[in-house]
A and B are shown apart, each in its own frame.
Chain A
Amino acid sequence: GNSVTQMEGPVTLSEEAFLTINCTYTATGYPSLFWYVQYPGEGLQLLLKATKADDKGSNKGFEATYRKETTSFHLEKGSVQVSDSAVYFCALSDNSGNTPLVFGKGTRLSVIA
Chain B
Amino acid sequence: EAGVVQSPRYKIIEKKQPVAFWCNPISGHNTLYWYRQNLGQGPELLIRYENEEAVDDSQLPKDRFSAERLKGVDSTLKIQPAELGDSAVYLCASSMERTEAFFGQGTRLTVV
Contacts and interface: CB of A to CB of B under 8 A. Distances in A.
Contacts of A104: 42
Contact of A43 (B31, B97, B105): B105
B43 A44 contact: yes
A4 B3 CA distance: 27
A102 B101 CA distance: 13
A43 B106 contact: yes
Interface of B: 3-4, 31, 33, 40-45, 48, 91, 93, 95, 97-101, 103-106
B98 A4 contact: no
A96 B41 CA distance: 25
Nearest to A91: B42
Interface residues of A, number: 21
A43 B104 contact: yes
Nearest to A46: B100
A98 B42 contact: no
Interface of A: 4, 41-46, 49, 89, 91, 96-106
Given A43-B106, A97-B98, A99-B98, A106 B31 contact: no
A102 B4 CA distance: 20
Point out which of B4, B42, B99 has the most chain A C-beta atoms below 10 A from its C-beta: B42
A98 B98 contact: yes
Most chain A CB within 10 A, of B44, B45, B97, B101, is at B101
Given A43-B91, A46-B100, A98-B99, A103 B43 contact: yes
A100 B41 contact: no
